[in-house]
Chains A and B, each alone.
Chain A
Amino acid sequence: VAEQREGRLLDQDLMRSILSMLDMVGVDASNVYEEEFETPFLAETKTFYQNESQQFISENTCPDYMKKVEARLYEESLRGAHYLHPSTVPKLNFILETELIENHSKTLIEMENSGCEHMFKEDKHNDLLRMYKLFSKVPKALEELRDAMGEFIKKSGKDLVAQQEASGNKEPNTFVQGLLNLREKFAVICKKAFLGDSKAQKKVVGAFEEFVNVDGRSARYLAHFADDLLRSGLRGMGEEEADSQLEKIILIFRYLQDKDVFENYYKIQLSKRLLSGRSASDECERSMIAKLKGECGYQFTSKLEGMFTDIKMSRDAMDQYRKAGRSKIHGIEMEVNVLTAGYWPTQTVLPCVLPDPLGSCCSAFEGHYLDKHTGRKIAWQTHMGTADLKADFEGRKHELNVTTYQMCILMLYNGADVLSLGQIRDAVTIPEQELRRHLISLCTPKHKILKKASKGKGISEDDTFSFNAEYTSKLKRVKIPMVSAKEGTAAELNDGENKFALPSNVEEDRRHLIEASIVRIMKTRKLLGHNALVAEVSRQLSSRFFPQPQLIKKRIESLIEREYLERDEADRRSYRYLA
């Protein structure tokens, strides 16, 4: 046989008859076939293949090795069919699988430049298919193959996230597209190379979930992608195409564990879009929300829908107000959006004094609104909103589009040409940091509406600002942009270790949700063990985020201190609900 393996011919029929003769010779308990032939045969086979495989693998690439293995397996199966005793065949196969496949599976997978990493990268479907088929014979090797795929996906994914971060999240599209490409790539690999193996598919999903959920960054980039699309990307697209774009978002959204982080950003961005009227298409917005609802249920989207309702109602209310001829007072045309506090992202309103004519417009509207809706309270959100000012410069008239605070500052110049920081501060009462930020925005080189007395970038305490009558601009209507705030996004990224910190409202919300969940559960169960409680809370909140067991523990302790719960006297590991 050895000779045949070496490639020489053998009279197969002769072999068959010899072997069957040996078999028949075994009349007594002693099996001649086994002793005389099989055992040495198998031993020799083992050695033969051990050597051959070692040598071959060290000299050849992975795909080539696999082809050789395929060939050898085929050869041996023929041998088995032609002249080996049927009982020998499984034993032979076992040796083959062990020596040729199992012992080398790791080496094959990890082989540089031709192993799995290479195959995945280059979409070598055929090679992967061959590997899959071979490894299917050895479950352990197959598991290793799946693991290797998982690791590759995770690594690629993490690279994508890192790249996005390095680029400062400028093109969220790159990130999401990258993810989608990765996803598609492995969908094909699973189908073609792994024959739709369900365990492989699960592995893919698992790997995606792992790197997507390392921290909240993926959620944030995804939200930005959505914002981009809904702001301008979907403009002019047909219904089907727009829908498929939105679907992409959902595909990645499904991998997210901390969906509340996504919701947090989405809400903030939606509010900006709605209030500035910067939405590409109302229909697309609604469609996106419907999709999110489909994924997460009504609770997730109820506030978002509320925001839409508010905008619509505000529009209707303004129409009425206008028709009643009340919207133009003192020559000021005002448009108001009335927002239901619970739906919109919360922000603390900084105090500010509105210039007189505007103040009376606001009061007029307030009066009108509260007449219609008694029992409600209105709070003017002066940190939002814009104003169009008609400004007379030396001979030129321009229309300036500014924020509310900028307007407050500029209107002061109707009464004086030069004002000190202190005077402005007293008149307008905006807190220091915001005041400075707004003042700077009004005296940047590009938009020098005001001239700052001191040189340099900062504002000194005794600085003065004078109206710049020489201001010029090519445009008739100029938008004066705000100087960017350094807080906000930077605070979320702790650049020391590149760790993403949860936005503070998400953290706060989670605390409340966990506590509410604990109380709900304990109210029903009355007495419950620690582990069971933690598991139940996780289960209840799983559609929104994954609560860390330590966080749940902290909330339990807080509830113990506030006497909602107590530890059971008999079992310190269980808690009792205190009515």
Chain B
Amino acid sequence: MSASELRAITGCSIEKAKILLDIYNGDANSAAEAYFSGEAIPSARSKGRRSSKNQPKISKIDEWFNKYSDEDEEMSDKGILSFCEDIGINPQDPTILALAYEMSAKEMGLFTKDEFRKGMVSLGVSSCKELREKVAYIKGKMSDTNSKFFKEVYAFTFDFAREGTLKSLSMHDSIELWNILLPVSRFPLLKPFEEFLKKEGSVSIVARGCSEGRIARDLWMQLPLFFDHVGPDFEKYDSADAWPVILDDFAAFFESNMKREISG
């Protein structure tokens, strides 16, 4: 294993990784374990993320991973489902996205061994039981949509969900993800927005000169800000503001629909 791979697992700097590999003669497993057990390493400074009691053992994590992995040593749909069951979350829970974020997972619906390791290590857990205990904590962090953590997971999700070289998300996928990530209580405009997208979204988007009905990153990133800024009734909306055009179209849609509801 190379220094950069070791680094990916442990999250330490490349220099430390090189030093560790050196000490352990290229045996990355031992090197990683040593790192986590806090053994004295020349010029190493532990970031102190892990408590000295609970050192995640790489070997334990790997064993755990193997329970869900398939022939290619990867965790795919079925495995992920089982995994979710075992830790007590349903697959529509934003927690799974937070986990993917911690893993820096590249592709949706697929976790590699390395990614899994990195994620569990970063969370400081090496077994199902430990992770289950942490789930509530993660859920809490995700429900605070103002937190840095939430924002990072949200931003990460866009790239995570993208397919291959496409730079945008399908409307269908976007709506699903928004429903997972954005709690309706805090974002009451989400449902009207969905309605708008389904009714007129693709027209609006095509009119922008983009490919049919796809969501660009700019829109993805701006949406929660927009909802926050504008308020549940669009009171603070200003059409001369710098929102993406599709949101201006949404505002117009909302107004004509709102009026209909009042009179109808």
Chain A residues within CB distance 8 Å of chain B: 511, 529-531, 549-550, 553-554, 557-558, 560-561, 567, 572-574
Contact = CB atoms under 8 A, between A and B. Distances in A.
B241 interface: yes
Interface residues of B, number: 18
A191 B150 CA distance: 69
B108 interface: no
A531 B218 contact: no
B216 A561 contact: yes
Interface string B11-49: 000000000000000000000000000000000000000
A549 B240 contact: yes
Given A561-B218, A567-B218, A572-B222, A530 B241 contact: yes
B242 A554 contact: no
A530 B242 contact: yes
Contacts of A557: 208, 216, 218, 244-245
A549 B242 CA distance: 10
A572 B225 contact: yes
24 contacts: A511-B209, A529-B242, A530-B241, A531-B242, A549-B240, A550-B248, A553-B242, A553-B244, A553-B248, A554-B245, A557-B216, A557-B244, A558-B208, A558-B209, A558-B210, A560-B218, A561-B167, A561-B168, A561-B210, A561-B216, A561-B218, A573-B241, A573-B242, A574-B242
Nearest to A550: B245
A99 B244 CA distance: 54
Interface of B: 167-168, 207-210, 216-218, 221-222, 225, 240-242, 244-245, 248
B204 to A, nearest CB: 10
B170 to A, nearest CB: 16
A550 B242 CA distance: 10
B216 A553 contact: no
A561 B221 CA distance: 12
A503 B210 CA distance: 21
Nearest to B249: A550
B242 A572 contact: yes
Given A554-B207, A561-B216, A573-B242, 16 more contacts: A529-B242, A530-B241, A550-B245, A553-B242, A553-B245, A553-B248, A554-B208, A554-B245, A557-B245, A558-B208, A561-B167, A561-B210, A561-B217, A567-B222, A572-B222, A573-B241
A394 to B, nearest CB: 59
A574 B241 CA distance: 11
A425 B168 CA distance: 44
Contacts of B244: 553, 557
A574 B245 CA distance: 15
Nearest to A572: B225
Contacts of B225: 572
Contacts of B221: 567
Nearest to A558: B209
Contacts of B167: 561
B211 to A, nearest CB: 10
A551 to B, nearest CB: 9
A507 to B, nearest CB: 11
Contacts of A549: 240
A206 to B, nearest CB: 23
A244 B100 CA distance: 76
A380 B47 CA distance: 73
Nearest to A553: B245
Contacts of B222: 567, 572
Contacts of B245: 550, 553-554, 557
B142 to A, nearest CB: 22
Most buried by A among B167, B225, B245: B245
B177 to A, nearest CB: 19
Contact of B240 (A511, A531, A561, A574): A531
A560 to B, nearest CB: 5
Contacts of B241: 530, 573
Contacts of B208: 554, 557-558
Contacts of A529: 242
Contacts of B217: 561
A97 B220 CA distance: 62
B227 to A, nearest CB: 13
Nearest to B218: A560
A572 B244 CA distance: 11
Nearest to A529: B242
A573 B242 CA distance: 5
Nearest to B167: A561
B171 to A, nearest CB: 16
A44 to B, nearest CB: 54
Nearest to A556: B242
Contacts of B168: 561
A558 B248 CA distance: 16
A103 B245 CA distance: 47
B214 to A, nearest CB: 10
A550 B207 CA distance: 12
Contacts of A558: 208-210
Nearest to B242: A530
